[in-house]
C-alpha cells in the first residue's frame, strides 16, 4: 500500500496524542476532537486513519486504546534498528541525550568522530570510533541507519564512508549540504537554517502586504 509522507508524519502525532489520552484514562475520541487538538481538519484525521482499515465505530468515534494499538502497529518496526551517529559535536551530543532518540524501537550503537580526544572513549555510554573506521564498524555492528551531525563540508565524505560499508540503508542528516547517495539509500534531511529562513520569509511577507 502507498502512504503519503504527510500522513506518516501525522500518524506520529496521533500516536503521541493517543499515548497521552490513554494515560489520562480517556476511552473514546472523535476525529473532530483529535483534529482540534492537533490543528487538523476532522476529515483529514479520518482519511489518514482509514488508510489502514476501519478502526473507528460509526456514530461513536475511536476507542482510544484500540486506536493506540492500531497506530502503534502501523509505525512498528520488524526489528530493533541499530543506529550510528556521525559527528559528536554539540548537536550530536545533544541528540545523543535527547529523549526522542531514546526508544525501544532503535538504539544508538556507536558514534563516530575525527577528534582523537573522543575516539576510543565512551560518550553517553556509547563507544566512539574514528570516522575512517566506519565501513568496518558499521558492518560488524550491523548498523543500518546513520544520523549525520557533521559540518556541511565534511558531510559528503562521511556519507561516502558510511555507504561504503554496504549495510547502511537510511540517513538522517542535520548537515546543510546536498548529499549524493546510491539509489537504494534513503536520505531525510532536517535543515534547521532552512526552517528558520522559511519562517522569516513568511513573517516578512505578512508585514509588507498579504
Q: Give yes or no for residue 13 binding DNA (CB under 7 A).
A: no
- Shortest gap between Cβ of 64 and DNA (angstroms)? 11
**Nine-digit cell string for 196:** 528558520
Q: Give yes or no for residue 14 binding DNA (CB under 7 A).
A: no
Q: Which does 73 bind (CB under 5 to 8 A by kind): DNA, its own copies, none?
A: none
Q: Give yes or no for residue 9 binding its own copies (CB under 8 A).
A: yes
Q: Which residues pair with 126 in a beta bridge?
A: 123
- Cα angle, residue 42 at apex, residues 64 and 53 outer, rounded to 5°: 55
Q: Which distant-in-sequence residues (6+ apart) come within 8 Å of 53 by Cβ?
A: 70
Q: Give yes or no for residue 47 binding its own copies (CB under 8 A).
A: no
Which uninterrupted H or E stretch holds 14? helix 5-23
Asked if residue 27 lies in contact with residue 63, where contact means CB atoms within 8 angstroms, the answer is yes
Stretch near its own copies under the rule CB under 8 A, chosen from 41-49, 56-64, 93-101, 130-138: 93-101
State the burial class of residue 162 (Cβ atoms within 10 Å of its Cβ: 0-12, 13-18, 19+): buried
Stretch near its own copies under the rule CB under 8 A, chosen from 6-14, 41-49, 58-66, 114-122: 6-14
**Nine-digit cell string for 150:** 557533521
Which of 140, 184, 183, 177 lies closest to 158 in space, CA to CA?
A: 177
Contact with its own copies (CB under 8 A) among 55, 101, 114, 126: 101
Task: List residues near DNA by CB under 7 A.
Answer: 4-7, 30-32, 40-44, 46-47, 49-50, 54-62
Task: List residues near its own copies by CB under 8 A.
Answer: 3, 5, 8-9, 12-13, 16-17, 37-39, 75, 77-78, 81, 89-91, 93-95, 97-101, 105-106, 144-145, 147, 151, 169-170, 172, 176-178, 180, 186, 188, 190-204, 206-208
Amino acid at each position: 500500500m502507498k502512504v503519503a509522507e504527510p500522513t506518516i508524519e501525522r500518524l506520529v502525532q496521533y500516536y503521541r496524542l493517543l499515548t497521552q489520552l490513554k494515560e489520562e484514562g480517556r476511552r473514546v475520541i472523535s476525529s473532530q476532537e483529535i483534529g482540534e487538538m492537533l490543528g487538523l481538519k476532522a476529515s483529514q484525521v479520518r482519511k489518514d486513519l482509514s488508510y489502514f482499515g476501519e478502526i473507528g465505530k460509526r456514530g461513536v468515534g475511536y476507542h482510544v486504546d484500540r486506536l493506540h494499538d492500531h497506530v502503534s502497529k502501523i509505525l512498528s518496526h520488524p526489528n530493533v534498528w541499530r543506529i550510528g551517529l556521525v559527528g559528536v559535536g554539540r548537536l550530536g551530543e545533544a541528540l545523543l541525550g535527547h529523549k526522542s532518540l531514546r526508544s525501544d524501537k532503535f538504539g544508538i550503537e556507536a558514534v563516530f568522530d575525527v577528534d582523537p580526544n573522543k575516539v576510543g572513549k565512551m560518550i553517553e555510554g556509547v563507544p566512539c570510533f574514528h570516522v575512517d573506521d566506519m565501513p568496518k564498524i558499521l558492518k560488524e555492528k550491523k548498523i543500518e541507519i546513520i544520523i549525520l551531525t557533521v559540518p556541511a563540508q565534511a558531510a559528503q565524505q562521511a556519507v561516502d564512508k558510511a555507504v561504503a560499508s554496504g549495510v547502511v540503508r537510511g540517513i538522517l542528516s542535520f548537515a546543510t549540504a546536498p548529499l549524493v547517495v546510491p539509489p537504494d539509500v534513503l536520505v531525510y534531511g532536517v535543515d534547521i537554517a532552512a526552517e528558520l529562513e522559511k519562517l522569516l520569509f513568511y513573517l516578512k511577507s505578512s508585514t509588507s502586504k498579504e
